[in-house]
Structure 1
Amino acid sequence: MQREINGRPITETPRGPVLTPCAPGSVLARLGDKWTILVVSMLALAPDAPMRFGAIRRGIPDISQRMLTLTLRSLERDGLVARHYYPEVPPRVEYELTTRGISMLPPLAAFTNWIRDTWQDIEASRREFDDSERIGSSALMRWK
């Protein structure tokens, strides 16, 4: 019987367990990216109404035009977002989540809820760790 952890198969080797990739690292990096999460969340606000580029950008204050363009292109390439071009004057482009993009919403909600509930504890742990590292470093310098 093959073991798993978090949906990842584990291969038993003489040197110990080894995690087997369940997907290429590029997929995990794309879907866990800060901008991806924000763009998908923004598009999820209006599931029945495509959004224009400007509306998405206004809804994500810190994103640059270039980063939004790159993120939308990557999401379209991954099949998570559909781009609709209308040859009007001026041209109109709208974006919406595909069925695959919509299927990402429940796990994304679980992940972002966990972040919302624990980020302050994580920040406190970081401060505590950094403080102990500084104290340890200064004690080591005095010892030398």
Structure 2
Amino acid sequence: MKNNTNIDNELNTVEKKINDFENNCPVQFALKTISGKWKTSIIQTIASNCPKRFGILKKDLDNIAQGTLTTVLRELENDGILMREVFPEIPPRVEYSLTDKGIRLLPILEELKKWHTTL
């Protein structure tokens, strides 16, 4: 039993070090912010014709489920990449646009594309 406890303690220490690294490394944090199947596609789609309404985004991103689109839009909004504007109209109109932080991300995404093509 004592060996298992030591192994458990060692694993907890390693996990804590990994979590500390991920939480304190700006590059890791940035990658975590934009990672996911749809995030960069949504950012680039909005950037191509800003602002965009939800229905247009859904149409532009062929295979995305409505719930997935909603979730990813909320995540990007919470991370300060997108801004959501609700207009007091009937029927309600919601538009998504890039924030300054989102706009500053675009050249980085372009560099990532270039980097990927050189592999």
**TM-score of the superposed pair, with normalisation by structure 1:** 0.60
- Counterpart residue type for residue 104 of structure 2: S
- Counterpart residue type for residue 111 of structure 1: L
Partners of 1:75 and 1:86 in 2: CA distance: 20
C-alpha distance 66-77 of structure 1, shift in aligned 2 (>3 A): same
Report the Cα offset of residue 110 of structure 1. Answer: 1.3
**DSSP 3-state at the match of 2:80:** coil
Partners of 1:54 and 1:113 in 2: CA distance: 30
Deviation track 1:73-113 (CA, whole Å, cap 9, x = no partner) reads: 00110111000001211000000000000000011011123
C-alpha distance 64-26 of structure 1, shift in aligned 2 (>3 A): farther
Would you say 1:113 and 2:114 are equivalent positions? yes
Who is 1:80 aligned against?
81
Q: Structure 1 or 2: larger strand share? A: 1
Unaligned runs of 5+ in 2: 1-20
Who is 2:93 aligned against?
92
Partners of 1:113 and 1:40 in 2: CA distance: 17
**DSSP 3-state at the match of 2:83:** strand
Q: Structure 1 or 2: larger helix share? A: 2
Higher Rg of the two aligned structures = 1
Aligned CA-pair RMSD: 2.3
Report the Cα offset of residue 60 of structure 1. Answer: 0.9
Counterpart pick for 1:30 among 33, 41, 47 = 33
Who is 1:142 aligned against?
none
Contact kept in structure 1, 2:33 and 2:79, CA below 8 Å: no
Report the Cα offset of residue 24 of structure 1. Answer: 8.4
Partners of 2:77 and 2:98 in 1: CA distance: 9
C-alpha distance 93-78 of structure 1, shift in aligned 2 (>3 A): same
**TM-score of the superposed pair, with normalisation by structure 2:** 0.72
Partners of 1:94 and 1:32 in 2: CA distance: 23
Unaligned runs of 5+ in 1: 1-19, 122-144
Equivalent residues, number = 98
